[in-house]
């Protein structure tokens, strides 16, 4: 909070001219993109990691705590809290062959990830509709199961982590294209998520600062 007070006191509102009567400037926070638990890039072919099969209205990212994904027995995907209990589906990757195994034990997403990594390869990375149908086929009717898609938390550009946040009410609203953060100095420097290609004033560290 001390840093936010310094920024607010030193912000030159007259020169934040990118948006009339709106005094916002970029800070170094960004992220919130969806990615797969299995990070082995040799597993993917170009473009395959972009496959998504969200249910209508999903992901409803306005709820910032919904950062994990489960698949329903209908084959559609839903974002949800990571600490609820779902059945895991594990992926067993052997070269170009992938098999999927339903685990009849309800656990959290993190517990599912650990179990799959210990006993198989990882939670499933669904690369195309054919694989989605294979995962769907192992989920019993009426059940839903964790898959490997999760949303990265926000990160600072210098790689540091901090539990401090200063979001404006209703923020972040986490629209999928809003992955950068600006501070609104007309409202005490409170934070908002914005598309990264919007033009804003910006703040840099001065000489000798760290």
Tens-place pLDDT, residues 159-182: 776 667 888 888 877 566 777 889
Q: Which two tokens stand for residue 78?
A: 């839903």
Shared domain for 147 and 88, answered yes or no, is yes
pTM of the model: 0.61
Give me the number of domains the chain comprises.
Answer: 2
Give the pLDDT score at 210.
41
- Note down the domain range covering 22: 2-31+155-202
76 has pLDDT over 50: yes
Shared domain for 130 and 160, answered yes or no, is no
Shared domain for 180 and 143, answered yes or no, is no
Q: Which two tokens stand for residue 204?
A: 């840099």
CATH number of residue 185's parent domain? 3.10.100.10
> Is residue 210 assigned to a domain?
no
DSSP code at position 192? E
Q: Which residues contact 184 (CB under 8 A, 6 or more apart)?
A: 22, 23, 24, 168, 190, 191, 192
Percent of the chain's residues with pLDDT above 70: 82
Shared domain for 119 and 170, answered yes or no, is no
200 has pLDDT over 90: no
> Is residue 207 assigned to a domain?
no
Give the pLDDT score at 22.
63
> Is residue 209 assigned to a domain?
no
Weakest-pLDDT range from 111-115, 185-189, 190-194:
185-189
pLDDT grade, residue 103 (50/70/90)? very high
Shared domain for 171 and 196, answered yes or no, is yes
Which carries the bigger pLDDT value, residue 190 or residue 46?
190
Give the pLDDT score at 31.
62
Rounded to an integer, what distance in angstroms lies between the CA atom of residue 59 and that of residue 147?
A: 14
pLDDT tens, 39-72? 776 777 776 767 899 999 998 866 666 789 999 9
């Amino acid at each position: 909070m001390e840093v936010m007070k310094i920024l607010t006191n030193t912000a030159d509102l007259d020169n934040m001219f990118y948006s009339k009567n709106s005094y916002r400037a970029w800070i170094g926070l960004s992220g919130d993109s969806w990615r797969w638990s299995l990070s082995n890039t040799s597993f993917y072919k170009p473009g395959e990691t972009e496959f998504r099969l969200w249910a209508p209205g999903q992901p409803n990212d306005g709820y910032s705590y919904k950062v994990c994904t489960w698949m329903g027995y209908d084959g559609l995907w839903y974002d949800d809290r990571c600490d609820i209990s779902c059945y895991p589906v594990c992926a067993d990757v052997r070269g170009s062959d992938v098999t999927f195994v339903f685990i009849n034990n309800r656990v959290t997403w993190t517990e599912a990830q650990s179990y799959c990594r210990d006993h198989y390869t990882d939670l499933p990375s669904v690369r195309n509709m054919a694989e989605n149908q294979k995962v769907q086929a192992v989920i019993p009717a009426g059940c839903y199961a964790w898959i490997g898609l999760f949303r990265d938390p926000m990160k600072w550009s210098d790689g540091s982590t901090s539990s401090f946040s200063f979001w404006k009410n209703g923020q972040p609203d986490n629209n999928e294209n809003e992955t950068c953060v600006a501070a609104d100095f007309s409202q005490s420097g409170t934070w908002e998520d914005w598309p990264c290609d919007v033009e804003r004033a910006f703040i840099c560290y001065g000489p000798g600062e760290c």
